[in-house]
Amino acid sequence: MRYIGKEMRRVDGIAKVTGRAKYAAEFELSNLAYGYLTLSEIAKGTITSIDTSEAERAPGVLQIFTHLNVPKLFPALPGGPDNKEFRPLMSPKIVFNGQPIAVAVANTFEQARYASQLIKVTYSQEKPVTDLRTAIDSAKETNAQKSPPPRGRLAIAYAPAPFKVEQEYNIPVEHHNPIEPHGATAFWKDGKLTIFDKSQNVYQVRDYLAQTFKIVPEDVNVITLFVGGAFGSSLTVNYYPPLVALAAREVKRPVRLVYTRRQMFTGHGYRPDTWQKVAIAADEDGKLTAISHRAVINTSTFENYFEDYFKVARTVYKCPNVETLYQNVVTDLPTPVAMRAPAAVSNMFALECALDELSYQLKIDPLELRLINYAETDPETGKPFSSKALRECYSLAAEKFGWRNRNPEPRSMRDGDLLVGWGVATGIWGAFQRPASAKVVYKSDGTAHVTSSTTDIGPGTYTVMTIIAAEHLGLDPAKIKFELGNSLYPKAPAQGGSWTTASVGSAIYGAVQNIRKQLLDLAKKDASSPLATADVDDVEMIDGVLRLKSDASETVDLSELLRKFGIEEVEDTYQSNPSPEREKYAIGAHSAQFVEVKVDPQLGTVHVTRVIEASACGKIMNPKTSHSQEIGGAIWGIGMALMEGTEIDHRYGRILNPTLADYHVPVHADAHQIETIFVEEDDKIVNPLGVKGMGELGLVGIPAAIANAVFHATGIRVRDLPITPDKLLKRGLA
C-alpha cells in the first residue's frame, strides 16, 4: 500500500483553520434575511392566544410565522396525517417545553430576535410528566422493537448460582453539544429550492423538503460541505429546515436561521434517560451461567423512539442463559435521538460494571474474568466471527498499561494524598456497511475527480476518501479532488453508525475497478499493446500508467492512451452493497479499554489520568485521523462518566442547565494521557477494503472502565452517572 495505512494530514485542514471552510450558516447571499425562534414556556398544554401585532410592527420585520398561518402555507406534509413526528407551528398543541411556537423573520438578526420577544402568548397548561423513574412500572415494549426470546433457561440457572450480582444503573439525559450550532440558509430561484443545512444525510433532507413543498426531489438541492460536529443530532431531518425554506419562499429572499446555545437543548434530541437492571451469575470458576438485562428509556408522547438494546448482553460474553427486555416510557419531553454509540455505551456501562462487581465476589482479576468468558463464536447465533482480535487487544493494552502491577484491593494504591484506581472494560460496535454510490472521473491530464453525497461530521471523510481513491487509481493524493455533501452527487447513506468508510469507500473502490477495465479495453484495441492479452486482474494503475503486475516494465501511458482515442476523461458511477457472504459470519469491531483515575478524598474530585485503548477494527486507512477518532471517543467517555447530565425541573418539564456554563463537557484540562493502539485485522469478508467502523467504538467501554476504576480507588460503587464529587463524599469517601 502506498497511501492506505500511512499517516496523512487532513486535506480540508487548511480550509478549516483559515476560515475558508463554509458551514451551513456561513454562506454569504445577497439580500439575506434572518429568522429567530420563539419557544414555548410550558411543557404540556395548548396555546389559547398568540398576539403578533406588536412584533409585526417592529423595525425591519418581514413576517411572523405561527400555527395561525403556517398550516395554510404548506401544500403537503411527508407521511400524511398518520405521521406522528413533530411538526413545528402546525398546531396550538404544546408537547414539550422549549417547543418552537413562532419564527420572526427580519432584515437583521438583531431585529428578528427583538421581534420574537414582542410576541405575546397565553396557554392552557397541563401538568407534564418528565421523570422516567416515576413511571418505570408503566414501561412497555415498543411495537417497533420487541425483545428477542430468552436464550436457555435463565431462572433455573440463576437461582442456585453461588455468585450473583443484581443492581440498577442510571444514565441521565445527555445532550449533543457540537461546536457548530444547528442552522440552515435557504433560497428559492425559479421554483427550485437550495438549502445549506447542517445534516448527516442530504438526500433524506432533500426528499423530505420535496414532499413538504410538493415539488420533485430534483428541484431541491441540499448542501452540507462541512459539519462542526453532529454525533447523531442530525441523522434525521430536524424541525428547522422546512421552516427556513418556508420563510425564504414567503419573504422572497434568502433566509438564515441558527439555534442559540439554549435552543440546542430542545432542538434536536438527546441521549435518552436510561434505567437498567442487570442480574448476572457465575460458577466457582468464574464462568457466566446467567445474564438478565432490562433497559428502560424515555420517549416522547408523539414518537416511539427506540435503540438496539439487545446486542451487548447477548453477544459480548459466552453465556448459555440470557434474557433481555427493552422498554420505553412516554414523557413530555422532545424525542430522543441517536447519540454517539447509541445503546451500546449505555448497555456496556451497566453490564461491564456488573461484571466488575462479580469479579470482586469471585476474587478473580477483572481482566481474567473477561478472558474466562471470551466468546470465540457469536453466542447468539453460533456463527464464526469474520475476524475478532479482542484477545490481542486485551493483551497489548494490559501490557502497555502495566495491569499486572495492579493491587486488587480497593483504596490500596496511592499517589501522595490521592487515591489511585485502575479499571477495565470491553468495547464492541458493529462493522456495518450500507448501500452507497460514488462517481470517479479519471482525466487525461492525470488527475481525478471523485464525488459522493456523504457528509463529513468530523472524522476525516474528505481525507480518507482521497486516500482510497489515490491508492487504487495509483495517483498522488494531491491529484485527487474529492467532493461531498451535495444532493446533486451520487446517493450515500447518512454519516452515522460508523459505516461511512466501509460504504462510500467501497463504492469508490468499485468505481475505480470499472475505470481500470475501461482503460484496459482501450489499451487492448491496439494489437501491439504490451497489455493486449492481459485480463483486468493482471494490471494495475500507478503513476499515470497501466502496467502488468507481473512485469512493471510492460506499461501503457494513460494520458497518451486517452489522447490517442480523443477522450478527455473516463468515468464510472458505482453502487456498493454489502456482500451476501457477510450473512454467514458474526461481524463486529472490538476494543479493550484500561483507565487510571486519581481521586482526591477530601474534595471528591476524580481525574482520569491515563487511558490505554487497543482497538481491532479491520484495516486502518489513515492512522492519524483514526487515532484522533479513538482519542475523541475516550474524551467523550470522560464527559459521560464524570460530568454530563441534563438537569430537568420535573414540575415544569424545563431544562435547568441549557448552557455550556452549566452543562459540563470535558475541556483540555480534563484530557491527560490517552494512548490508542490498533490491532489490524485482515478481514476479507466485511467489505473489499477490509475496514470496520471506529467512530463509536472508542467510546463504548470508557464510562464503565472509569466507574470501575473509581471503585478500585475508593471502595465506593457509583451506579448513577455522572460520578460527581457529592456522590462520593456523601458516602464517606474521606
**Residues involved in catalysis:** 696
CA angle 378, 586, 634 (to 5 degrees): 90
Cα-atom radius of gyration of the chain, to the nearest Å? 28
Query: 691 φ, ψ to 5°?
Result: -100, 145
Which cell goes with 640?
459521560
Residue 374 DSSP label: B
Chain CA centroid to CA 605, Å = 29
Residues 6+ apart with CB under 8 A from 99: 39, 40, 86, 88, 266, 334
Distance CA 197, CA 193 (A): 12
DSSP-assigned letter for residue 30: T
**What are the angstrom distances between the C-alpha of 659 and each of 102, 231, 636?**
22, 18, 18
Reference 356, options 424, 275, 283, 282; nearest CA is: 424
For residues 522-540, one letter each, b for 16 or more C-beta atoms within 10 angstroms of the residue's C-beta and e for the rest, the string is bbeeeeebbbeebeeeebe
Residue 703 CA: distances (Å) to CA of 310, 358, 669: 19, 18, 18
DSSP element (H, E) containing 428? strand 418-430
Q: Which residue, among 713, 708, 709, 714, has the nearest Cα to 733 in the 3D structure?
A: 714
- In this structure, the number of other CB atoms found within 10 A of the CB of residue 655 comes to 25
Distance, CA of 672 to CA of 608 (rounded, Å): 7
Cα dihedral: 252, 256, 257, 260 (round 10): -150
131 by Cβ neighbours in 10 Å (0-12 / 13-18 / 19+) ranks as: middle
Q: Which residue has the cell 465476589?
A: 361
Q: Under DSSP, is residue 674 helix (H, G, I), strand (E, B) or coil?
A: strand
Grid coordinates given for 404: 499486572
Interior/surface letters 20-48, b for 16+ CB within 10 angstroms, e for the rest: ebebbbbbebeebbbbbbbbbebbbbebe
Identify the burial level of 605 via C-beta atoms within 10 angstroms of its C-beta, where 0-12 means exposed, 13-18 middle and 19 or more buried.
Answer: middle
Dmax of the chain from CA atoms?
87
Q: What are phi and psi of 704, to 5 degrees?
A: -65, -45
Q: Concatenated DSSP letters for 396-417?
A: HHHHHHTGGG---STT-EEETT
Contact assessment for residue 461 and residue 484, using Cβ atoms and an 8 Å cutoff: yes
Q: CB–CB of 269/337 below 8 Å?
A: yes
Main-chain phi, psi angles of 530, to 5 degrees: -65, -10
Neighbours of 214 (CB within 10 A): 10
Amino acid sitting at position 691: V
In contact, 357 and 165? CB cutoff 8 Å: yes
Alpha carbon distances (Å) from 554 to 516, 533, 534, 539, 548: 16, 12, 11, 10, 6
- Strand pairing partners for 104? 36, 64
